[in-house]
Chains A and B, each alone.
Chain A
Amino acid sequence: MLKISKYVLYDIARNKVAIAYTLFLLVISLSFFQMEANSGKAVLSLLNVVLIVVPLISLVFSTIHWYNSYEFIELMLTQPISRKKVLLSEFSGIASSLVTAFLIGVGLPVLIYNPDNIGLALIIVGTLLTLSFTSIAFLASVKSKDKSRGIGIALLLWFYFALIYDGLVLMILFSFSDYPMEKITLLLSSLNPIDLGRIYLMLQMDISALMGYTGATYKEFFGSNVGLFYTIGIMFIWIIVPIMLAVRSFNKKDL
């Protein structure tokens, strides 16, 4: 399994997209930290990058890579290796390269310029988002046969998670504003990894504002470590479940 991952990594290193992504993140992070006098504000700008750009690149890159190395995967499957192993090693290869790119591009500058708990939270959230969106991309690509459709679905998924979902939540909150919506809101935010990542960061950054809320559920959620464990826990579910579904679907798939 490790051997296949190693080949995947070689392949990614050769095609230079991952390197371009690393450099892009590095340039953005460094310029934010250089431009803003206040490193806290730079982290805020980086937050948008992490919540928007990282999921997009993870989705699109994984999908394209999957289709491009489809022949390699087919070749591997002629060998006495289980499909599960091939898929998981492909996943770990791509995910580790994307995580490395993120850690160098964003993690390093953050650790240099703003090494507090907010910076750390940003790195954790970015890493978890990379993993979960790679996992989602695998599910999408395994499910759809041809490349253009796969990429289309990846883009739609990104659009849904990054923008449409929040609009829907806002709509729901306003149309049901006469009802107690506390727990529902917490539940709704668990249904989107980007929202979860955002909440995790909010728990570090905006605790003063979050404590202004009257509801007991919120108090409990925000006031203690419950919120942190909850968001991290659900994030892991968002990483494990899609890739497991992808494995199941890949095992049955007629190649």
Chain B
Amino acid sequence: MRGYLLIFLMFTTFLASANTIVVDKHGLVNTLKQGIKMAKPGDTVLLKKGLYKEGNIIINKSIHLVGIDEPILDGEYEHEILTISGKGIFISGIQFQNSGSSSMNDFASIHAVDASHFVIENNTIINSFFGIHIANAHTGIIRNNTIKGNPKNEQNTGNGIHLWQCTNMVIRDNHVEGHRDGIYFEFVTHSSIKNNFSTHNIRYGLHFMFSNNDAYIGNIFRNNGAGVAVMYSQKVIMVKNHFDQNWGSNAYGILLKDISDGQVIGNIFHQNTVGIFLDGTNRMEVHKNTFTANGWSMKVQANCDENTFHHNNFMNNTFDIATNGTRMQNEFYNNYWDKYEGYDMDKDGIGDVAYHPVSLYSMIIEQNPNSLMLMRSFMVTLLDKAEKAIPSLIPENFADQSPRMKALKL
């Protein structure tokens, strides 16, 4: 009991020693730079409502910067707005706008370099080159921020939330719109991305490079230029995300390139040109996902090994699966395919004949894209039926040996 009391007393004295500095356009301290200069580690700087154009603001001690009624920091299209480095920095409730853009420097609205134990929350960032740029940092939280860009092309915009060389980061409840990549991870480990909404980004909604042991859960990726890309990473877990309306010639719900040992569970893929594109992907487990109204549910390239696909629902897709070769070393079982035409004599809910998800016509399209114009014609139906009766072109072992008769309730 005494010990607790001591800790409590220490804590309160610590609180008492922290000062609050108010920055107000019409007050004693009327620039943010001055306010930050006066603050000692542990202090809180309150930024009152107003428009502040102060160039590049640097925080390198552990202070809290809190905006009251959304004050605006403007970069005048020239500067990086806020640069933070150090431990225990807290940024909240500020609107950042018009950061500089450059092809030499990665200008951002909030740039954290060599930082740790920091929180960036409830900010609005508009018209930025990079929104939030974190480099060489660990143990930070980025939440509830709204980031909106106004991009012209891929070259003159940066990423919404950009992380490079980080560990133990949490990115949650952010809204990212109109940047190059919504959220970008490079060399980021042991981090999670939760409940974010990423939409209308020019390239990817979420982009992973060389980032291992991460999870992304419950995010919505809608109408991004090319969906989500996860590349050259290991042990990435993707759970309960929505991938919607990623349309285009190279657009995928998820692009998995050189990925291994990850899991894709309980996601919903709706109206994407390709739900999942697997290229050089090994030992992935894909289950309990729902694929509806996609052009192709999955494209599994022949260089993928030992992946398992089970207990997924495939419904109303133009093509279930396409591949580019005859080699197939992945396993499919217990999926529901709405195109399955088999029967179930023993009434165990599992069809008695195998289902071949790759149709002849999807192989033809791989070879000759223009033949897309013949989709759903009587001719194509005949070809597919003939191939089903006497298989010769589609990979023989590309089959679900135990397809379900009824859709799974997911």
Contact = CB atoms under 8 A, between A and B. Distances in A.
Interface of A: 38, 40-41, 47-48, 51-52, 162-163, 166-167, 169-170, 173-174, 177, 181-182, 185-186, 188-189, 194-195, 198-199, 201-202, 205-214
B134 to A, nearest CB: 34
Interface in B291-324: 293-296, 315-316, 318-319
Contact of A182 (B370, B375, B382): B370
B248 A212 contact: yes
A202 B294 contact: no
Contacts of B379: 163, 166-167, 170
28 contacts: A38-B315, A41-B316, A47-B376, A52-B378, A166-B377, A169-B374, A177-B367, A177-B370, A189-B373, A194-B377, A201-B376, A202-B376, A206-B318, A206-B376, A208-B272, A208-B293, A209-B273, A209-B372, A209-B375, A211-B248, A211-B249, A211-B251, A211-B295, A212-B247, A212-B248, A212-B251, A213-B369, A214-B249
Contacts of B374: 166, 169-170
Interface in B374-404: 374-382
A198 B376 contact: yes
B369 A166 contact: no
B159 interface: no
Contacts of A167: 379
A211 B370 contact: no
B338 interface: yes
A214 B369 contact: yes
A51 B251 CA distance: 31
A162 B315 contact: no
Contacts of B251: 211-212
Contacts of A199: 373
A197 B338 CA distance: 24
A205 B382 CA distance: 20
B295 A195 contact: no
Interface string B339-382: 00000000000000000000000000001111111111111111
Q: How large is the interface on B (under 10, 10 to 19, 20 to 34, 35 or more residues)?
A: 20 to 34
Given A182-B370, A209-B273, A41 B338 contact: yes
Contacts of B367: 177
Contacts of A214: 249, 369
Given A202-B376, A210-B372, A212-B247, 11 more contacts: A40-B316, A163-B378, A163-B382, A169-B374, A185-B373, A188-B373, A198-B377, A205-B376, A208-B293, A208-B295, A210-B295
A166 B318 CA distance: 19
Contact of A169 (B247, B319, B373): B373
Contact of B294 (A169, A174, A208): A208
Contacts of A195: 373, 377
B378 A162 contact: yes
Contact of B271 (A40, A182, A185, A208): A208
Nearest to B319: A209
B315 A209 contact: no
B371 to A, nearest CB: 5
**Smallest CB-CB A-B distances: 3 pairs:** A209-B295, A166-B379, A209-B318
Nearest to A202: B375
B385 to A, nearest CB: 12
B296 to A, nearest CB: 7
A38 B273 contact: no
Given A48-B378, A208-B271, A38 B316 contact: yes
B274 interface: yes
Most chain B CB neighbours (cut-off 10 Å) among A185, A209, A210: A209
A166 to B, nearest CB: 4
B23 to A, nearest CB: 50
B378 A51 contact: yes
Contacts of B370: 173, 177, 181-182, 185
Most chain B CB neighbours (cut-off 10 Å) among A205, A211, A212: A212
A213 B372 contact: yes
B274 A212 contact: yes
B316 A166 contact: no
A144 to B, nearest CB: 26
B290 to A, nearest CB: 13
A187 to B, nearest CB: 11
B393 to A, nearest CB: 14
Nearest to B293: A208
A173 B376 contact: no
A185 B271 CA distance: 25
Most chain A CB neighbours (cut-off 10 Å) among B273, B293, B315, B369: B369
A213 B368 contact: no
A209 B296 contact: yes
